[in-house]
Amino acid sequence: MIQKPLFFQRATALLLTLTLSLSLSVPALAAEETAAPESSPQTLDELAEEVTGLALTYGGASSAAWAVWQDGKIISNGRKSSLPPNAGHLLQLADEAASTIYGIGSVSKIYTAAAVMQLVEAGRVKLDAPVVTYLPDFKMTDERYKDITVRMLLNHSSGLMGSTLTNGMLFDDPSSYAKDHFLERVAQQRLKADPGAYSVYCNDGFVLAELVVEAVSGQSFEDYIKANIMDPLKLNATFSTKDSFENAPIFAANIETALPRDCLNFPGTGGLYATAEDLAAFGGALTNETLLKESSLDAMAAPEYARGMWPDDTLNSLAFGLGWDDINQFPFSQSGIQALTKGGDTQYYHAGLIVIPEYKLAAAVLSSGGVSTYNEMAASQMLIRVLEDQGVAIDQTLPTLPKASPAAMPAELQEYAGYYGSMMPYKIDVTADGTLSMSPLNRPGIPAQTFAYHDDGTFRDASGAAYLKFVEESNGQIYLYQKAATDLPGLGGTAASNYAAMKLPENQVSEELQASWDTFMSTTNLLPMNERYSSQTYVAIGLTGEDAAATIELDTIPGYCLGYKIEDENHLRYVLQIPGNMGRDGVDLEIRRDEKGNAWVYQSNGAIFMDANGAPYLSTGKNNQAVATIQPDGFARWYHIGEKADGKTMTVQVPENAGYWVYDADGKITGSSVLWGNEKPVELETGGLIAFAGDPGARFQLSFA
């Protein structure tokens, strides 16, 4: 149940795109298990229901809703549900009357981009003006921050480290704390790249853009978009966490009840909630001059990614515009049609929006659980059917790699072997016989992939559907480029052509320093200390189990720890500079020790952890009465459950703005005031843990029986 630092857990709430070994193998496995329909449905509604069901199955979602908009009206909409795999007895999802309001995650960024462009049209914001023009309180330790422009926020090229979202993803708690303190936390950070050098997905850029909207308009972001986007479009089923609404149920593994309401409290980055109908209608408004002038719409759909370093081939799921993830969505691009795409993935909701301006079309698929990529593919199939019904054929032929033959490999290519960083670190071996093997480190369950050298300079897999090659870029770094395509029966194909990883620069450190970091990361389990009591982090760390976290085998990378550069005995530094998605969400790390010698890990994004060895054992007090008090520093109070408390039941009186979490020896959550209230006692088990969190001074009254 105890977790490694967040940099170890690279698949974060707003990130589900994986590197080659996962992105190609997972859909392939799903395709083997799910057969495509024997014949195409006869109507748009039938097809929409079919492909939404496939997205549910592929992604393991519990429910989903779709809507297709064309030229001013919704022409198809509906909802599919299935029983969550961890809680088959929960039948409420079979009720078609259940709420169809879902979190749209990062699709919220398109609302932010539209709001900024409205202010640009009004002459109140200039895209290429420095952000500090509008946010004079925005500061960083890195003087280059003064060069960040508003455009760079919207096209992901600001150079910001990534995601400063601690305390921003909560349960049934619309707290603005994380956003209110955002500038303070960013002020302690550096940039990972020169502003404008390349585009890499960045949540923090859109938090700043949201703040620009507020500063310039004099309104809260929520009030601005309501007055200038929601009301004009009559979007009455679009909300932020400040609103009162019933959301589609969300679930987590090992928890047999629906979770409390999702509250992602950065509305302009990922915190809006809507029906599929409202989202599709919003997308439709970006096909005409309802919200923005044609010049602004064109600017949003322009190839912003090309302003900086980027791979030559753009057939990929990422080709950034202003706000848009992809301005060249496959397969529409093969038929000369521009389709604009934005996906969103939070802990519990997943969203896909596709807009085709030329044909005044938009489609949205939202789900509880699942993966945004599958939702986008389902939405694509709906739009393809609409176009086909209008006599517009879309070429869905899966791209094939250029022809090449096996060949003897130039010996100098062996020099590219080594360790590469990405969403996880990799070891790349290149042997004299022309075999490249790619092994994901620290994930022993994922086998190495092998590729053979061909006469066009690429290394190809046995299927001939994917290849890798090495690229030396203008910034002096060496990249592992991947190109591949895969098909999911019923949902069509998906293509990838991007930099999958960057070779880690040589970093010589002493054997003693290397051994110290290797030992620390392989033996230390960490507890989150500054997450709000309602944080979704407490559920996330309860899904792995203490044993799972403790038994991960860590491979040594000379001069690095988990892909982070070792600077000294107390500091790790993020070094990756990868455009697209594989170099997102970086952090620097510092270890500090308290007066008792316990290690504390401080991440540059504001997250703080403590070595679990520093947590005391829970005392049952005199007469089975005890008190736990949150200290002035506001850090959570963690306790091990020892033999003295084993088998006892605990009842807690919870103060205001506070909560507790109880885990058994396997890491499963057995008690939580946030999830289930305080009505029934919690049985304690040796080897478990308890966390009390709340405002400074909060006192928890504990009774044991």
Longest dimension (CA), the chain: 80
Average pLDDT over residues 245-254: 91
Question: Which two three-digit tokens encode residue 103?
Answer: 């979190």
pLDDT above 70 covers what percent of the chain? 90
Round to whole Å and give the CA distance between 415 and 141: 37
Please report, for residues 229, 274, 348, the alpha-carbon distance to residue 366 in angstroms, rounded to integers and kept in the order given: 20, 9, 11
pTM: 0.93
Round to whole Å and give the CA distance between 682 and 659: 14
Confidence of residue 29 (pLDDT cuts 50, 70, 90): very low
Cis check: omega of the bond before 616, within 30 degrees of 0: no
Judged against a pLDDT cut of 60, whether residue 550 lies above it is answered with no
Domains in the chain (CATH in brackets) are 42-389 (3.40.710.10), 411-503 (2.40.128.20), 511-612 (no CATH), 625-704 (no CATH)
Phi (first) and psi of residue 196, to 5 degrees: 85, -5
Name the one residue in this structure whose structure tokens are 């088998």.
Answer: 647
pLDDT digits (tens, 9 = 90+) for 324-370: 999 999 999 999 999 999 999 999 999 999 999 999 999 999 999 99
Cis check: omega of the bond before 402, within 30 degrees of 0: no
Strands (E), 55-138: 63-70, 73-81, 102-103
Pairing label, strands 649-653, 682-683: antiparallel
Confidence of residue 678 (pLDDT cuts 50, 70, 90): confident
Contact between 345 and 79 (Cβ < 8 Å): no
Q: Bigger pLDDT: 97 or 494?
A: 494
What is the pLDDT, as a whole number, of residue 445?
A: 74
Tell which residue, 367, 457, 444, has the closest CA to residue 412. Answer: 457
3-state DSSP call for residue 361? strand
The strand pairing partners of 344, in sequence order, are 351
Phi (first) and psi of residue 148, to 5 degrees: -75, 125
pLDDT digits (tens, 9 = 90+) for 188-217: 999 999 999 999 999 999 999 999 999 999
Average pLDDT over residues 516-523: 90
pLDDT digits (tens, 9 = 90+) for 457-490: 999 999 888 999 999 999 999 999 999 988 999 9
What is the pLDDT, as a whole number, of residue 84?
A: 52
